[in-house]
């Protein structure tokens, strides 16, 4: 699986003739998906008969096929990471202002 990987060398499953370019993909920070609140809302962690690595590679190959550049693919992963990290943010009302909000200190 992809979990626990820092740099993923694409492709590993798909044949090289099915991808436009081979490249490393930086997955630093995604090693433990349990760290993201958005990904822990369900008890379902895996789908039966689904190979996560193959599906990941198919999506990258599809992005390449429609002309998304390697830089834009990297930006997509960075955006997904930003959204996952923002999902961990918790807010609280500041003292003496029940209508406002501020990021809780624990975040």
- Give mean pLDDT, residues 17-30: 76
pLDDT band per the 50, 70, 90 thresholds, residue 1:
very low
pLDDT digits (tens, 9 = 90+) for 72-102: 988 898 888 888 888 888 888 888 887 888 8
If you average pLDDT over every residue of the chain, what do you get? 80
Residue 24's pLDDT is 77
Is the pTM higher than 0.75?
A: no
Q: 64, 70, 52, 53: which is closest to 13 by C-alpha?
A: 53
Q: Give residues with Cβ within 8 angstroms of 20, minimum separation 6.
A: 61, 64, 65
- Residues 45 and 32: their CA atoms lie apart, in Å, by 12
């Amino acid at each position: 699986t992809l979990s626990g990987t820092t740099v993923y060398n694409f492709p590993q499953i798909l044949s090289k003739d099915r991808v436009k370019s081979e490249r490393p993909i930086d997955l630093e920070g995604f090693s433990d998906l349990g760290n993201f609140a958005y990904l822990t809302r369900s008890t379902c962690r895996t789908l039966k008969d689904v190979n996560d690595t193959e599906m990941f590679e198919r999506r990258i190959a599809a992005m390449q096929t429609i002309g998304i550049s390697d830089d834009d693919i990297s930006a997509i992963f960075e955006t997904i990471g930003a959204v996952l990290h923002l999902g961990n943010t918790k807010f609280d009302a500041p003292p003496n202002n029940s209508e406002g909000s501020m990021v809780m200190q624990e975040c």
